[in-house]
Structure 1
Amino acid sequence: MSEGAASWLPLSRGERSVAIEVLVHGPLSRTEIARRLDLSAGSLTRLTKPLLESGLLVEVPDGTTPAESRQGRPSQPLDIVSESRSFLGFKITTDMVYGVVTTLRSEIVARHDRPLATHDPHEVVALIAEMAAELTREHPGVAGMGIGVGGMVPDRSTVDESVFLGWRGVPLGALVQERTGLPVVVENDLAAFVEAEAWFGAGRGLARFVVLTIGAGVGYGLALDGKRVAPPGEEWGFGGQWIVDANGPLTPDGSRGSAVSYLSIPSIRYQVQAATGRDHSYEEILAGAAAGEPMPARVVEEAGRALGILVATIANFVMPQKILLAGEGVGLMDVAGKTVEETVRARRHPLAGPVALETKVSDFHDWARGAAVLAIQVLVLGAAEY
């Protein structure tokens, strides 16, 4: 572990709670922190003292930057020096590795992408090590690294199963740490994305927050009070078995009429190709549907209805304050958004309030950022339960 990250550990449960509150919501006055965490003034003083001594927290006079505030008064707000440490985040897809450098508050300050020519684990590790070396030369003070992978990573180090990469039992974290000398956290990519949005994105400050992703598959994540709910086996995904219509399309991925059969990009492309005899890109299908071409229009309309059913079902049972729709397939909303909205209304009680559905046009750098947030949580805060 790097010297900077090690100097912050270990944090007690109380210290961790204070650090997280300031990291996510700061700068905050001591009075506000005590109110949020239900602490006495004496308890808060005891908890903040080691955080201030380690440099994780600083006192910030109003209107100045954290770097200017080392001689503050006890009444001054507490904040984190966001630029004091950098973190690397990587997202591995079937044909690319996307890399970012973030601050302690997960602001992306650099991006670096490389094509992935092979899925051989040692070659992938070598590529990540090369990218990490280049990024750390340009951004010294890197405290750790997070890697997001589509698959099962139960111990945040070993990839037990990744269908996309054809991996079983790959000790990715240990291999990358050996090559780079940096502490490494490996996680399911959707889980990392949900963490980032719950802490620093669309779900910040919400008690009940849902992420729904459409793209290569269909993903779902739930965060309660900023903490992601991690049910056993979630890495296998739910979309392939969530049946929207038992008489719906049968595609190579997912059960007949499942969310994946309706909504994943490969399934949408498969349906159009089966009907027309020609392969179309997802963008071409959306454009054709918008132009009124019969088969693309039908497939996209059915996908919009399926998405509306999913959103309404989630809203009815989870009652989230917000549902974030993200992933490389969100262009569906540009063409079928009206169908989605009408279906949601039809599947909700007439007196139910509107569903707060936010669409995020994201790219894989956002997923890499999510991996960096996992590194911040685990390596800096020692939040092993996250």
Structure 2
Amino acid sequence: MLAASWAPLSPAERAVAIEVLTHGPVSRSEIARKLSLSAGSLTRLTKPLIESGLLVEDPPPAAPASASAAPSAAPATRQGRPSQPLDVVADSRFFAGFKITEDTVYGVVTNLRSDVVATRALPLRTHEPVDVADLLHAMTTDFAAEFPRLAGIGVGIGGHVIGPARAVTSSFLGWDGAPFADLLEQRTDLPVVVENDVAALVESEAWFGAGRGLDRFAVLTIGAGIGYGLVIGGQLVRSGDDGRGIGRRWIVNPQGPLTPDGDRGSAVSLLSIPSIRYQVAAATGRNHTYDEILTLAAAGDPMAARVIDEAARALGTVVAQIANFAMPQKILLAGEGVGLVEVATPAINEAIAANRHPLAEPVALETKISDFNDWARGAAVLAIQILVLGRPKTAR
């Protein structure tokens, strides 16, 4: 098995390695500027990283040959040593990431840069932790046959994870403190980290996606439920409430709809895919998929348009609240439900404006429709972090 981490690295060496991993290939001068290092200090820090094979020096681009140059022309005088950008070898290691839903396990393999190189999905026929661990073990074995340099496993689950990613409580799986990371680690002999799926997605976007390089960054996910994560100072803000389902009691409109999941007028009741489908079915007596409802709303169907307009105004209100209180540089809307934005952008923007100060800066809003492979990729990033940062030493 490959080494479970890049340890031992000093904090300064690790900072350099992470900068190259998340932004490389990157010039030495840019690294020195971002990390406030002198050229001498950077040379001292990068030397052992290069010698150990963690980092490599990209050759400088070759000067284009000039066919018209005179053979007797004297070579140009070189002014100093050319800068050689630093990079990581992305395919030096691979990582398995899994997203567990109520009826399916989605798996991906990524390289060190979190690029997805393989995907697979298998039905989940039982929720017993031991049986789920056996299924993920089988999928990992298949992945390892194709990618023998598999270095770690990340698992994302909708639920509450206790301590350094060891015990999981998940209502939809019926788990109460299941030691799932240990069960899977015992079977695979690989480092395993288990995390709330929203937190995993936020970490992925902070390291390799929309939040890369930002000091303050927020993610709001819309899908089967509502998820929220906040990054400050480049670190995900942790809370004992992580994975508790904050959207069920995030009241957006007290006069809003009452649905089977979530309080009246909550973010879940207004925005989640099951709630939107429930509202349309209750009013029309017909079941429609979420995409069908969006299409009907865009075409002017009265009931679908009313439900989607109310959801859009709720989304704009939630976005404005996040902007008002967290003051992020960017808010990412992700998940299977963000097709709402394409259909109802004017209503969303009106609600944002109505809930912001007239002189407030525009909200930097980015959308990303995420499928379950994206959620699994987020889990794989957790495994990359274990390699780079080592295991958490204390419970949160």
Q: Which consecutive segments of 4 or more residues in structure 1 shift more than 4 A?
A: none
> Residue type matched to 1:173 in 2?
A
Aligned-residue identity in percent: 65
1:156, CA displacement in angstroms? 4.0
Match for residue 42 of structure 2 among 34, 41, 44: 44
SS of match in other structure, 2:342:
helix
Q: TM-score, normalised by structure 1?
A: 0.92
- Check if 1:35 corresponds to 2:33: yes
Where in structure 2 are the equivalents of 1:33-182 lying within 5 Å?
33-63=31-61, 75-182=83-190
Partners in 2 of 1:212 and 1:57 — Cα distance? 34
Task: Spell out, residue by residue over 1:32-77, the C-alpha distance to the aligned partner (whole angstroms, 9 max, x if none).
Answer: 222211223443333323322221111222249xxxxxxxx79522
Where in structure 2 are the equivalents of 1:1-12 lying within 5 Å?
2-6=1-5, 8-12=6-10
Partners in 1 of 2:34 and 2:349 — Cα distance? 36
**Which residue is equivalent to 1:326?**
334
RMSD: 2.0
**Which residue is equivalent to 1:19?**
17
SS of match in other structure, 2:160:
coil
1:291, CA displacement in angstroms? 2.4
Partners in 1 of 2:14 and 2:231 — Cα distance? 19
Where in structure 2 are the equivalents of 1:229-378 lying within 5 Å?
229-378=237-386
Aligned residues: 376
Conserved? CA contact 2:294–2:308, under 8 Å: yes
Conserved? CA contact 2:250–2:266, under 8 Å: yes
**Which residue is equivalent to 1:69?**
none
1:176, CA displacement in angstroms? 0.9
1:383, CA displacement in angstroms? 6.5
Partners in 1 of 2:342 and 2:85 — Cα distance? 43
Name stretches of at least 5 consecutive residues in structure 2 with no aligned partner. 63-80
> Residue type matched to 2:240 in 1?
P
Q: 1:361 to 1:294 in 2, by over 3 A?
A: same
Name stretches of at least 5 consecutive residues in structure 1 with no aligned partner. 65-72
Task: Spell out, residue by residue over 1:245-294, the C-alpha distance to the aligned partner (whole angstroms, 9 max, x if none).
Answer: 11211112121111111001111122222222333222222222222222
Partners in 2 of 1:40 and 1:334 — Cα distance? 47
Partners in 1 of 2:153 and 2:133 — Cα distance? 13
Conserved? CA contact 1:11–1:382, under 8 Å: no
> Residue type matched to 1:46 in 2?
R
- The farther-off stretch of 216-225 and 55-64 is 55-64
Q: TM-score, normalised by structure 2?
A: 0.90
Task: Spell out, residue by residue over 1:1-29, the C-alpha distance to the aligned partner (whole angstroms, 9 max, x if none).
Answer: x32435x2232222211111111112223
> Residue type matched to 1:24 in 2?
T
Larger Rg: 2
Match for residue 193 of structure 2 among 177, 185, 191: 185
Partners in 2 of 1:77 and 1:278 — Cα distance? 59
